[in-house]
């Protein structure tokens, strides 16, 4: 086969892949510029308090004392939230919550 | 101004093809990398959102709105990766549950992924979200934070852009190298061809010793030049032989005619001189006819008349023809042939070849000698004629089939030196060979022909047409 034809065929074979890879973006429409970013409410000090309360509720409802790791994570999370490290505090409180749920055998989906 | 001959240059084309192939290969690799990294992350995000939607729709079906709210809040509370986004809205698009401040106004079509700018703890971030409509006028938005993926995508894009620059540089340098390599290789062949055109027939294409395709081409060209050289030598030899061998009879005829013109006193003497000159000229005509016949055989045109034949009767006829001649010279002619000798070829040519061999054998045998004609079939057809004459020394047997070749022992015997040439031409035409062996004493000439099945299967293109001169 003539080299030019080989190149042409290779180019044609690549074209669909190139189109698929470059154009198939998962986003259908861009956000309007004037609307501005929307606040996520689970990164706020209020949510920190909400999570702390949920952990405390589970601890009080539990038949046995919570594991030390739960207590440590809960304390550390609350301390970080108080110091303004909201996301780090929330992450620890979430881990404490998950540990409590698994420890008490509660299934919360 | 760009030289137009540059684009017509094969070296430029090869270089351009190399650069293009390299670019296409690099593009294919880049596309695959993109598909396997950024594309994979996009697909994973979309799959996670769809799996989430499927699960939440089951919650809705099982426990209605309350169950869905509890599930969403639970998932947000346990979202260690801190990337989940949910928004459950009522028919007025007011928030019922979730972690978005409000419903994004541009997310209007269910089942479509939207890009969404969000603010996380005072920092801008990017998310992909999808809308799902629920019964009762409720709307659910599910999304994932893709800020980390967007950063990875930017890094990948930068890397690929730099890779394109490197590939373009490599393609350019590679194309120049390929072009120069091609030109250098062709320059070698071109210089040889130019030298030969200028008359230097001893010049050959230089081999690099790598044994690559260029060396193979060079070897083929050198073989071709060797062959052309041999053919030219042959032509030169034949021309010399014709000039030498025909000069004597022509000069003799001229002298006889001149002598008769000057000194013949009677019409009878004049007629006798003319007859002798005519005999000499007939001999010359016979030589030319033999030369033309050999050329015709070598051209291969007679192949079209090839058929399956039995050469046993032909051998019997030739034996019958030369029997009286041999007897007259006191030579014993003994024939031993198979009852049937099948062959594939031209009956007349094979008969003439065997006749030439027998003629030589009888001509060079001494009185009291024996000439044997044997024919056998064992994988191939062999017709052997052996005599007890002076034979041909081993060193001269290779040349014996050259036109006009006359061995030392044959100088005193009449002949043109074309008999064995014709036999060899017939053998080659039939895909066989003429083998000359020592008969101790004498010569054993063997005409070897392929069996019909093998000869018929042999492609015409493989038939040697001009193997020798």
Residue pointed to by tokens 């007629």: B271
Residue pointed to by tokens 């003994």: B334
Pick from B34, B35, B77: CB nearest A51: B77
Q: What is the pLDDT of residue B145?
A: 92
Nearest-CA residue of chain A relative to B157? A22
Q: What is the pLDDT of residue B432?
A: 92
Burial of B224 (0-12, 13-18, 19+ CB in 10 A): exposed
Tokens of B192: 């040889």
Q: How many domains does chain A have?
A: 1
C-alpha B172/C-alpha B23 separation (Å) is: 10
Element (H, E) at A39: strand A38-39
Residue A26 has pLDDT above 50, yes or no: no
Cβ–Cβ < 8 Å for B45, B83: no
Cβ–Cβ < 8 Å for B72, B99: no
Spatial strand order of the sheet with B84-89 comes to A38-39, B113-120, B123-133, B139-145, B84-89, B95-98
Q: What is the pLDDT of residue B469?
A: 38
C-alpha B346/C-alpha B359 separation (Å) is: 20
C-alpha B320/C-alpha B32 separation (Å) is: 85
Tokens of B210: 């790598």
* Nearest residue to B14 (alpha-carbon basis) of B188, B183, B218: B183
Block means of pLDDT (10 residues each) for chain B, 469 residues, are 65 83 86 85 88 91 90 92 92 92 90 90 90 91 90 88 88 87 83 88 86 86 88 81 77 86 86 86 83 80 84 92 90 91 90 92 91 92 92 85 75 76 89 91 93 77 43
Asked whether residue A50 is assigned to any structural domain, the reply reads yes
Q: What is the pLDDT of residue B406?
A: 76
Pairing of strands B123-133, B139-145: antiparallel
User: Does ipTM top 0.90?
Assistant: no
Cβ–Cβ < 8 Å for A103, A66: yes
Q: What is the pLDDT of residue A89?
A: 94
* Nearest residue to B315 (alpha-carbon basis) of B365, B346, B350, B343: B350
Asked whether residue A13 is assigned to any structural domain, the reply reads no
Asked whether residue A27 is assigned to any structural domain, the reply reads no
Q: Which residues share a beta bridge with A40?
A: B100
Nearest-CA residue of chain B relative to A18? B31
For chain B, give the number of residues.
469
Residues of A with CB under 8 A from a CB of B: 3-4, 7, 10-11, 14, 17-18, 20-22, 24-32, 35-44, 47, 51, 54, 86-87, 90-91, 94-95, 97-98, 101, 108-109
Q: Say which residues have a Cβ less than 8 Å from residue A98's Cβ, sequence separation at least 6.
A: B78, B80
Cβ–Cβ < 8 Å for B450, B396: no
Residues of chain B found within 8 Å of residue A90, distances taken between Cβ atoms: 82
pTM beyond 0.80: the answer is no
Own/partner contacts of A68-77, CB < 8 Å, gap of 24 or more, are: A69/A96, A69/A99, A70/A96, A70/A99, A70/A100, A70/A103, A73/A99, A77/A48, A77/A51, A77/A52
Tokens of B187: 């320059």
Asked whether residue A24 is assigned to any structural domain, the reply reads no
C-alpha B280/C-alpha B252 separation (Å) is: 8
Q: Residue A85 belongs to what domain range?
A: 41-104
Asked whether residue A23 is assigned to any structural domain, the reply reads no
Q: For testing the chain A interface, which of B117, B143, B164, B178 should be mutated: the one with the most A CBs within 10 Å?
A: B117
Q: Which residues share a beta bridge with B139?
A: B89, B133
Cβ–Cβ < 8 Å for A88, A80: yes
Side-chain half-sphere exposure of A93, counting CA atoms within 13 A:
31
Asked whether residue A58 is assigned to any structural domain, the reply reads yes
Asked whether residue A67 is assigned to any structural domain, the reply reads yes
- Cα angle B430-B436-B440, degrees, rounded to a multiple of 5: 150
Asked whether residue A99 is assigned to any structural domain, the reply reads yes
Residues of chain B found within 8 Å of residue A86, distances taken between Cβ atoms: 121
Q: What is the pLDDT of residue B461?
A: 44
Q: What is the pLDDT of residue A108?
A: 43
Residues of chain B found within 8 Å of residue A40, distances taken between Cβ atoms: 85, 99-101, 118-121, 125
């Amino acid at each position: 086969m003539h080299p030019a034809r080989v190149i042409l065929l290779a180019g044609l074979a690549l074209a669909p892949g190139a189109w698929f890879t470059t154009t198939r973006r998962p986003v259908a429409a861009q956000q309007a510029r004037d609307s501005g970013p929307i606040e996520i409410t689970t990164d706020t000090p209020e949510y920190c308090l909400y999570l702390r309360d949920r952990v405390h509720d589970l601890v009080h409802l539990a038949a046995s004392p919570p594991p030390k790791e739960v207590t440590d994570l809960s304390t550390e999370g609350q301390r970080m939230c108080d110091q303004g490290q909201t996301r780090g505090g929330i992450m620890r409180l979430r881990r404490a919550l998950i540990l409590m749920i698994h420890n008490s055998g509660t299934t919360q989906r | 101004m760009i030289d137009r001959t540059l684009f017509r240059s094969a070296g430029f084309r090869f270089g351009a093809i190399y650069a293009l192939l390299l670019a296409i290969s690099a593009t294919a690799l880049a596309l695959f990398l993109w598909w396997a990294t950024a594309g994979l992350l996009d697909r994973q995000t979309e799959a996670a959102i769809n799996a989430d939607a499927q699960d939440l729709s089951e919650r809705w079906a099982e426990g209605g709105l309350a169950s869905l709210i509890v599930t969403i809040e639970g998932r947000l509370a346990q979202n260690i990766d801190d990337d989940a986004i949910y928004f459950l809205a009522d028919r007025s698009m007011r928030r019922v549950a979730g972690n978005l401040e409000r419903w994004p106004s541009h997310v209007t079509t269910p089942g479509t992924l939207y890009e969404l700018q969000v603010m996380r703890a005072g920092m801008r971030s990017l998310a992909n979200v999808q809308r799902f409509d629920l019964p009762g006028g409720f709307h659910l938005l599910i999304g994932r934070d893709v800020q980390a993926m967007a950063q990875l995508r930017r890094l990948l894009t930068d890397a690929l852009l730099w890779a394109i620059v490197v590939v373009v540089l490599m393609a350019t340098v590679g194309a120049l190298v390929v072009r120069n390599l091609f030109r250098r290789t062709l320059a070698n062949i071109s210089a040889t061809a130019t030298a030969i055109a200028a008359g230097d027939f001893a010049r050959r294409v230089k081999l690099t010793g790598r044994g690559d395709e260029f060396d193979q081409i060079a070897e083929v060209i050198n073989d071709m030049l060797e062959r052309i050289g041999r053919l030219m030598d042959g032509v030169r030899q034949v021309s010399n032989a014709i000039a030498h061998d025909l000069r004597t009879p022509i000069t003799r005829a001229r002298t006889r005619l001149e002598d008769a013109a000057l000194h013949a006193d009677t019409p009878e003497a004049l007629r006798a001189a003319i007859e002798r000159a005519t005999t000499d000229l007939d001999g010359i005509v016979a030589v030319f006819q033999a030369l033309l016949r050999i050329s015709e055989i070598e051209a291969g045109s007679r192949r079209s008349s090839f058929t399956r034949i039995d050469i046993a009767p032909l051998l019997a006829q030739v034996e019958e023809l030369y029997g009286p001649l041999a007897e007259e010279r006191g030579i014993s002619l003994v024939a031993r042939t198979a009852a049937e000798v099948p062959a594939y070829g031209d009956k007349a040519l094979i008969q003439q070849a065997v006749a030439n061999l027998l003629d030589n054998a009888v001509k060079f045998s001494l009185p009291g000698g024996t000439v044997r004609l044997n024919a056998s079939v064992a994988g191939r057809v062999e017709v052997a004629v052996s005599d007890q004459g002076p034979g041909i020394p081993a060193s001269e047997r290779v040349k014996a089939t050259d036109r006009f070749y006359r061995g030392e022992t044959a100088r005193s015997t009449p002949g043109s030196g074309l008999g064995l040439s014709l036999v060899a031409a017939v053998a080659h035409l039939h895909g066989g060979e003429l083998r000359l062996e020592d008969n101790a004493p004498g010569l054993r000439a063997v005409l070897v022909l392929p069996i019909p099945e093998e000869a018929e299967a042999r492609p015409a293109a493989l038939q040697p047409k001009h193997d020798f001169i």
